[in-house]
Structure 1
Amino acid sequence: MVRLFGTDGVRGLANREVTPELALSLAQAAAHVLGDGPRAAGRRPFAVLARDPRVSGEFISAAVAAGLAGSGVDVYDAGVIPTPAAAFLIADIGADFGVMISASHNPAPDNGIKIFAAGGTKLPDEVEDRIEAAMQRPPLAPTGAGVGRIRRFADAEDRYVVHLIETLPHRLDGLKVVLDCANGAAAGVSPEVFSLAGAEVVVMGNDPNGININDGVGSTHLAGLAAAVLEHGADAGIAHDGDADRCLAVDAEGRVVDGDQIMAILATAMQARGALRGDTLVATVMSNLGLHRAMRERGIEVLATKVGDRYVLEALGEQNLSLGGEQSGHVIMADHATTGDGLLTGLHLLAEVAHSGRTLAELASIVTVYPQVLVAVRDVDRARVDSDEGVIEAVAAAEAELGESGRVLLRPSGTEPVVRVMVEAADHGTAEAIAARLVEVVRERLALQTTSTP
């Protein structure tokens, strides 16, 4: 049986896979599992609800609100705000849990449902499994005064803005920045907060209409941001994705600064002021070899986790560490946030530019990025990628060939029906050749069996 929850909530094509019926059932199940504690304590549970601006979020959010309120949960509806804002607000008002309706960087036809625990943290796998199991139980059905109320969370955005400004170690005065808001959840709040922090702001991707989210803009489409930075003579560009839990950057010359480089800059700055606990950075197995080497040279350990910022967050909590993230731009600053926060990350990145007097390009140069080739192999059996002897032998041979000058990673995707083949090497040609060989092995060894009818 396929698990309902992926690496970042429940996600799929809205009104086909993520339906109002699914949203209602999932909300009712979450009320069962996450509302048990408050009910046992003799009080009514309450939750924060938010969404990004994609059009399907309107009916999915309505279904979630109905499922929660119909199960006796009070709902504080924050409307369109970033995912990290929702996570912050859950902790800020002491809610019992929260729900964010978003498909992050996916195109507008997709949508998703992310559930946060009390404190604004992502749910452990076992709690997600309990919620999925509870979808088979009869829903809670209080009547009269027992039903939940749905209230507008009127000052949600203001609370989040104040929080972001209060985290800054240095203001951004003197910097000119282009913000790409991906026609998403950050379109209103990001320009406001960067301006309040002292930056001169040029904005793009800030006209969401429900169907243009991530459409040629945002952290997965950086060409427009790079062009705008050059056109306006800006010091840097900051790109969010649809729900603003990511941050990628562009330097003054239009070159991309990825999540690994951003983490290196932040880790080095935090180490210098004694804020990098354990002198350790948490990153996923997808982070570039160049990040590992740059951190080792500076006496910073890199602790690697599975792909997904939820696993980064778990490691941060278990080890009492302060910084982690992903190459894709999910960066968790654990002293200030419980999830990836693209606004927080961008603010602190530019604060280091302003404080150091160095350009973003100079700061990013501490990481020598190794060429990386990433191929998604479709129509193969993802379940056997870690156990097939032929695949294991091919990976071992590739690793022996690369030695310390590169690395290989094969993994089943948690969000798509593919096996991802990643190879890093000292030069692109070598990475490409080894990746091609591994892709052939994966296709040959893991091909799905098909049945034919006579």
Structure 2
Amino acid sequence: MGRLFGTDGVRGVANADLTAELALGLSVAAAHVLAEAGTFEGHRPTAVVGRDPRASGEFLEAAVVAGLASAGVDVLRVGVLPTPAVAYLTGALGADIGVMLSASHNAMPDNGVKFFARGGHKLADELEDRIETVYEQHRTGEPWARPTGAGVGRISDYAEGFDRYVAHLIGVLPNRLDGLKVVLDEAHGAAAHVSPEAFARAGAEVVTIGAEPDGLNINDGCGSTHLSLLRAAVVEHGADLGIAHDGDADRCLAVDAAGEEIDGDQILAVLALAMREAGQLRKDTVVGTVMSNLGFKIAMEREGIHLVQTAVGDRYVLESMKAEGYALGGEQSGHVIVLDHATTGDGTLTGLMLAARLAATGRSLADLAGVMERLPQVLVNVPDVDKSRVGTSPELAAAVAEAERELGATGRVLLRQSGTEPLVRVMVEAADIEQARAVAGRLADVVKSALG
């Protein structure tokens, strides 16, 4: 069996790769592993379970809840809420396990299972590996230890989760948003009700698009992976800014008043300066990834802020932040972690904090984001290749070396395998966009021929 867990939980086509049986089995295995690790410490364990609006989330939620309860875990169902809301509630309610059913920005047929440990933190790799081992042992014939009678878990709905999470978001804002007009693109996803409510309670005038989930339309031509609708809506409504989330709302991208995209690096730059001004940017450091734009690094150095770069994936950003005590980190894709207020990327919180900076300074988003200049960066996804051979192909290594010689000190090349999809990502950065496109195109062709 190949490793089930990717960089962000277990994902696949719902009812094909990710079946009810798999979801149930992983949930039971997680309960057993966490019990063995001493997480429950002799008390009756509790889990918080939430999902995004995908139709498949309904049967997968039922499977997860059944698995946990059959293992003796009491379950609080919080319904459709963002991933960061489930993480927050896991910590706030003192639960032992959090489970989120979502495939984030992936298309509707996909779904996923993501586990959180006590406190709302993602599981360590070794715990995920142990869950897989225990699940496989059961699948091949080793029986579960099953409680009976009063030992089985009880299931209840926790409708208060919505208001408790929104109150948390409002409570951490440094100032209100009165006077701002904001367009929110909710990707027909998990934040379709939460995000508009939070922005409205904070004082903003809110226009929503992509906020009518029907179980089938999540991420369909909208949200953080499709910004054209948001750009048009911001200009049409004369808004100060637009905010776009993905399906589970752990991401945030933005659009300024002219309809220009503001990516995760720019958002991090704005928030880093705001937090330093407030004395909240510990060690004057922000954490990014190897995908961070070179312009972001240059801007932070100019402002006297140190940039730490990790492997791609918000879990690696978070690991660095926790290990060194940093307060802010994130990815160009819009995963932004403000560790004092969240244990994972929180798109709604990020959008609120960005809007709060506009309200506090009276400056436009374009002006604030102008602290950094984005160098041209081209990303090409090459699907249906053997991504595991990215680091071992001699043909590919030679092509990368030649590209690096061509770009010199003014650019860079990065090839990496996707953690959630069967593809290789080719990133080329250069001072000239046409050169970056040409080099990226050539490398993508080599990836296809060498790994296809």
TM-based fold match above 0.5: yes
- Write the deviation string for residues 142-179 of structure 1: whole angstroms up to 9, x where unpaired: 10000000011121011101111111011111100011
Does residue 286 in structure 1 map to residue 301 in structure 2? no
2:107 is equivalent to residue 107 of structure 1: yes
1:312 aligns with 2:311: no
Moved more, 74-83 or 436-445: 436-445
* 1:6 equivalent in alignment to 2:11: no
Q: 2:348 and 2:81 mapped to 1: Cα distance?
A: 12
Report the alpha carbon displacement of residue 416 of structure 1 after superposing the two structures with TM: 1.5
Aligned residue in 2 for 1:297: 302
- Does structure 1 conserve the Cα–Cα contact (< 8 Å) formed by 2:178 and 2:359? yes
Inter-partner Cα distance in structure 2 for 1:160 and 1:349: 18
**CA 1:39/1:416 → structure 2, altered by over 3 Å: closer, same or farther?**
closer
The SS at the match of 1:35 is helix
**Structure 1 residue 118 displacement after superposition:** 0.7
Query: Can you list the C-alpha shifts for 1:54-75, whole angstroms capped at 9, x where unaligned?
Result: 1110100000000000010000
Q: Which amino acid aligns with 2:79?
A: G
CA distance in 2: counterparts of 1:108 and 1:343, whole angstroms: 21
CA distance in 1, matches of 2:445, 2:229: 35
- Structure 2 regions of 5+ residues with no counterpart? none
Kindly provide the amino acid, as one letter, of the partner of residue 225 in structure 2: T
CA separation in 2, counterparts of 1:278 and 1:85? 28
Q: Which digits, 9 at most, give the CA deviation of each residue in 1:243-299, with x for residues without a partner?
A: 111111110001111111101100111112211111111111111111111111111
Alignment CA distance shift 1:388-1:107 (3 Å): closer
Q: Distance in 2 between matches of 1:82 and 1:191?
A: 13
> 1:126 and 1:183 mapped to 2: Cα distance?
34
1:406 equivalent among 391, 408, 411: 411
Paired with 2:52 and 2:446, the residues of 1 have a C-alpha distance of: 40
Q: Which amino acid aligns with 2:168?
A: H
Letter in 1 for 2:250: D
Aligned ranges 1:259-274 → 2 under 5 Å: 259-274=264-279
User: Is residue 2:334 matched to residue 1:329?
Assistant: yes
CA distance in 2, matches of 1:206, 1:439: 36
Query: Residue 40 of structure 2 contacts residue 96 of structure 2 at CA under 8 Å; is this kept in 1?
Result: no
Could you tell me how far apart the structure 1 residues matched to 2:383 and 2:106 are? 18
Secondary structure at the aligned position of 2:379 is classed as strand
TM-score normalised by L of structure 1: 0.96
Q: How does 1:9-408 map to 2 (within 5 A)?
A: 9-36=9-36, 41-135=41-135, 136-137=137-138, 138-408=143-413
> Does structure 1 conserve the Cα–Cα contact (< 8 Å) formed by 2:268 and 2:329?
yes
- Where does structure 1 lack aligned partners over 5 or more consecutive residues? 448-454
Determine if contact 1:35/1:96 at 8 Å carries over to the other structure: no
Is residue 23–residue 63 contact of structure 1 (8 Å, CA) maintained in 2?
A: yes
Q: State the 1:379 CA deviation.
A: 4.0
Q: What's the CA shift for 1:385?
A: 1.7
Give the aligned residue type for 2:395: G
Q: Which moved more, 1:64-73 or 1:27-36?
A: 27-36
- CA separation in 1, counterparts of 2:390 and 2:248? 32
Cα distance per residue 1:403-429 (max 9 Å; x no partner): 231111011111122221110111111
Partner SS state of residue 178, structure 1:
strand
Structure 1 letter corresponding to 2:9 = G
Q: SS in structure 2 opposite 1:345?
A: helix
User: Contact 2:78–2:158 (CA<8 Å) still a contact in 1?
Assistant: yes
Contact kept in structure 2, 1:105 and 1:214, CA below 8 Å: yes
Q: Give 1:29 deviation, angstroms.
A: 0.4
Asked if 1 retains the 8 angstrom alpha-carbon contact of 2:297 and 2:307, the reply is yes
The 10-residue stretch of structure 1 (383-392 or 360-369) with the greater mean CA deviation from structure 2: 383-392
CA contact (8 A) 1:182 1:205 kept: yes
Between the aligned partners of 2:303 and 2:275, the Cα distance in structure 1 is: 12
Q: 2:78 is paired with a residue of what secondary structure?
A: strand
2:93 and 2:38 map into 1 onto residues whose CA distance is 15
- TM-score, with normalisation over the residues of structure 2? 0.96
Whichever residue aligns with residue 45 of structure 1, its letter is P
Shift of 1:40: 6.3
State the 1:381 CA deviation.
Answer: 3.0
